[in-house]
């Protein structure tokens, strides 16, 4: 009997080693003639611990167990009528040996590339792109479960303001002076884009803001549901909508705390009872109850208010002041040196002896 096994055992492009495969209860090893793509077992029917049975039809039956030592066990029933073997259903778990690489980037208005400046004015829009690198992995879809803004890199610090909560509810879009929303459709399943209106914290002089987002990747076959969603709020229709799946999966966004939370993230405050100052995009300070996670942070972002229009120019002027001072010092030193040289020359000329020629009258 000859059994051929494809080395691409899982169908994902990763080849198993022949030494990882064995056949039957006795663990028969494959033949040395195995190729780069196929592992071959060539045995007698009664080898490797197979059991011989006599039936009423005088057919010879045996049970073969094929084992993959990478935590995948597959069983098959093979009879002497081996033209159509019957396979027992089995399941496999693919363990990703390499960690996924997540990113959170500020983009230009046309989404063509990263934005070079972290400076925003109230009224500007932040174009944010979250993504996960799946080049060496199976196809995956990205979700943003939560995003929180703080004035320090610590996502658990206070004051803080939630932008996305409850596994993909962009609650900042419910504010009267906000147009924040997810971009639909996705450019790729492993990428999620959204916009946020620039804002500052009410009653806080700090202009620096850090944006921390909890990113999660799921299998690309994941069906959208209340746990796996990206929902935006429409003021025109006064309703929530999802960029994938039915809008019904977003119903929990209107009732804070009712969405499922598979990632275990807590502290997502989604109640926004007090409005921010109209036109100023200033967030209210609320206590933070979030727990630390492995997250991605953007910042610091500089938010300039209406009374800070000349802030950038002032900063540039302060940076230029030391250079101007050095120029003045250098000119002064050269002037003093020139005066000193002239003084020395004059003094030397006065000290020279004077010769008087006799004159005849």
Per-residue pLDDT at 81 exceeds 60: no
d(CA 327, CA 321): 10
> Please, which residues bridge with residue 239 across strands?
234
- DSSP symbols for 164-204: EBTTTB-GGGGSTT---EE-SS-SSTTEEEEEEE--EETT-
pLDDT, one tens digit per residue, over 214-257 is 999 998 999 999 999 999 999 999 999 999 999 999 999 988 77
Radius of gyration, alpha carbons of the chain: 37
Calculate ∠ Cα 236-273-147, nearest 5°: 75
Q: Note if the bond before 300 is cis, omega within 30 degrees.
A: yes
pLDDT, one tens digit per residue, over 64-73 is 555 444 443 4
pLDDT, one tens digit per residue, over 82-126 is 444 444 433 333 334 456 789 999 999 999 999 999 999 999 999
d(CA 237, CA 71): 51
Q: Give kind and range of the element (H or E) at residue 282.
A: strand 282-283
Res. 191 pLDDT band, cuts 50 70 90: very high
Least confident of 179-188, 204-213, 347-356: 347-356
**Which domains does the chain possess?**
2-87 (2.60.40.3210), 101-307 (2.60.40.4100)
- pTM, two decimals, is 0.55
Q: What pLDDT does residue 278 have?
A: 34
Residue 359 half-sphere exposure toward CB, CA atoms < 13 A? 3
Question: Hey, how many other C-beta atoms are within 10 angstroms of the C-beta on 296?
Answer: 16
């Amino acid at each position: 009997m000859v059994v051929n096994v494809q080395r691409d055992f899982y169908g994902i492009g990763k080849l198993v080693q022949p030494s990882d495969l064995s056949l039957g209860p006795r663990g028969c090893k494959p033949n040395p003639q195995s190729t780069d793509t196929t592992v071959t077992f060539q045995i007698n029917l009664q080898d490797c611990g197979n059991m011989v049975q006599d039936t009423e039809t005088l057919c010879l039956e045996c049970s073969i167990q094929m084992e993959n030592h990478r935590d995948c066990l597959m069983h098959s029933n093979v009879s002497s009528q081996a033209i159509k073997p019957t396979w027992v259903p089995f399941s496999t778990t693919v363990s990703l040996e390499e960690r996924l690489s997540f990113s959170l980037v500020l983009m230009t208005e046309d989404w063509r590339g990263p934005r070079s400046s972290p400076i925003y004015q109230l009224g500007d829009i932040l174009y944010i792109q979250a993504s996960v690198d799946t080049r060496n992995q199976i196809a995956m879809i990205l979700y943003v479960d939560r995003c929180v803004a703080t004035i320090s890199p610590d996502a658990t610090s206070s004051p803080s303001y939630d932008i996305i909560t409850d596994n993909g509810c962009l609650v900042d879009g419910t504010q009267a002076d906000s147009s924040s929303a997810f971009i639909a459709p996705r450019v790729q399943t492993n990428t999620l884009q959204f916009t946020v209106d620039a804002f500052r914290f009410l009653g806080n002089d700090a202009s620096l803001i850090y944006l921390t987002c909890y990113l999660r990747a799921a299998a690309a076959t994941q069906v959208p549901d209340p746990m796996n969603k990206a929902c935006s709020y429409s003021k025109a229709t006064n309703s929530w909508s999802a960029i994938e799946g039915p809008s019904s999966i977003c119903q929990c966004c209107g009732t804070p705390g009712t969405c499922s939370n598979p990632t275990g993230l807590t502290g997502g405050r989604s109640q926004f009872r007090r409005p921010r100052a109209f036109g100023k995009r200033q967030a209210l300070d609320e206590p933070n109850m979030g727990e630390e996670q492995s997250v991605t942070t953007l910042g610091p972002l500089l938010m300039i208010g209406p009374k800070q229009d000349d802030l950038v120019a002032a900063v540039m002027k302060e940076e230029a002041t030391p250079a101007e001072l050095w120029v003045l010092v250098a000119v002064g030193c050269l002037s003093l040196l020139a005066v000193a040289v002239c003084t020395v020359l004059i003094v030397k000329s006065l000290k020279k002896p004077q010769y008087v020629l006799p004159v005849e009258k």
